[in-house]
Amino acid sequence: MLNPIRVLIIDDHPLFRQGIRWSLSDAADIEVVGEAENGQEALKLTELLHPDVVLVDINLPGLNGLEVARVIKRRAPRMGIIVLSVYEDDDQLFQAIKVGASAYSSKDVHPEKLRLYIREVALGKYLINDVVLARPVVASRVLHQFRELASSEDEQTSALFAPLTSREIEILDCIARGLSNKEIASELNISSQTVKNHITSILSKLQVNDRTMAVIYAIKRGWIKMGYNAEDEPAPAE
C-alpha cells in the first residue's frame, strides 16, 4: 500500500477541526497528521510535520489563512493548499489564486468531495483553475494579472523552455481566454482527453506546475496575445 496522504488542518474552531478529522477517518489513503488553531502554530507544524496537503480556513485570527498560505508556498512550493471559507466570494477566490492555493471551497463541502479534492491536490493538480472558469469576473481579473506578471518576468527565464507545437499554442490561447477543457475540445474539434494530454505536455515542456504559470510564460514569449483593455477590468466594489 502506498503511503497515505498527510493532511494538516488549520482552523480556529475545535469542533470544525474535529468534524474534518472525522470525515476523513474512513479514508485509508488519507491521514490527518496534525491540527493548528492559528497561523503561527500552522507555520511551525508545516515545517515539523511536512504534510502533503494543508486545509486552511481563510478567516484565521491574527495571521489570516491567505497569509499563511503565502508563507507555506514560499517555503514549500510543492505542498498543496486547499483554502476553505464560510462562503464563496470572488475576491477571496482571486486572492487564493494569487497566493498559490490549489483549491478553494466553501466549508460546507460534502465529505466525499473534500476527500476528492485532497487526493487531486496531492497529485499536484490545481482545481482552482476550474473554479475560475465558472466565475467571469474573477477570470477577467486573473487575465489582467497574467499580463502584469508577464511584463515583469525575467527574460532569461523564458529562454530555458522548449518550444511548443502550434496545437499547444492554440490550447494555451484558449486557456488564457478562460475556456474549460470541454470548451477547448469543442472549439478545436478534438477530444477532452486530447486536450488534457496536450496540457500535460505543455506543463512538462515549460517546467511549471499549473496552467496559470504556463499562460504567464506564453504571454512573455509572445506565443499568445491578450487584448486586455480597461473595459475588461471589473468595476471596484462600492
pTM, 2 dp: 0.61
- Cα-based distances in Å from 82 to 115, 144, 234: 11, 24, 26
Give yes or no for a contact between 196 and 168, defined as CB atoms under 8 angstroms apart. Answer: no
Label residue 235 by pLDDT band (50, 70, 90): very low
What pLDDT shows up at residue 167? 81
What pLDDT shows up at residue 30? 96
Q: Is the pLDDT of residue 154 over 50?
A: no
Mean pLDDT rounded to a whole number for the chain? 78
Label residue 227 by pLDDT band (50, 70, 90): very low
CATH architecture of residue range(s) 138-232: Orthogonal Bundle (1.10)
What pLDDT shows up at residue 91? 77
Residues of the chain with pLDDT > 90, as a percent, come to 33
- Note the residue count of the chain: 238
Label residue 142 by pLDDT band (50, 70, 90): low
CA–CA separation, 69 and 71 (whole Å): 6
Q: pLDDT tens, 105-122?
A: 889 889 999 999 999 999
What pLDDT shows up at residue 140? 61
Q: What is the mean pLDDT of residues 162-184?
A: 77
Give yes or no for a contact between 113 and 86, defined as CB atoms under 8 angstroms apart. Answer: no
Between 135 and 193, name the one with better pLDDT.
193
- Cα-based distances in Å from 15 to 9, 21, 96, 104: 12, 10, 24, 21
Q: Is the pLDDT of residue 31 over 80?
A: yes
User: Which single residue is written with the C-alpha cell 460546507?
Assistant: 108
CATH number for the region 5-133 comes to 3.40.50.2300
User: Which single residue is written with the C-alpha cell 476553505?
Assistant: 84
Q: Is the pLDDT of residue 161 over 70?
A: no
What pLDDT shows up at residue 228? 38
Domain extents in the chain: 5-133, 138-232
**Residue 232 CB partners (closer than 8 Å, separation 6+):** 140, 143, 144
Q: What is the mean pLDDT of residues 215-223?
A: 66
| Least-confidence region, from 26-35, 55-64, 96-105, 206-215 | 206-215
| Least-confidence region, from 18-22, 31-35, 228-232 | 228-232
Q: Which helix (H) or strand (E) holds 35?
A: strand 30-36
What pLDDT shows up at residue 118? 96
Q: What is the mean pLDDT of residues 194-198?
A: 89
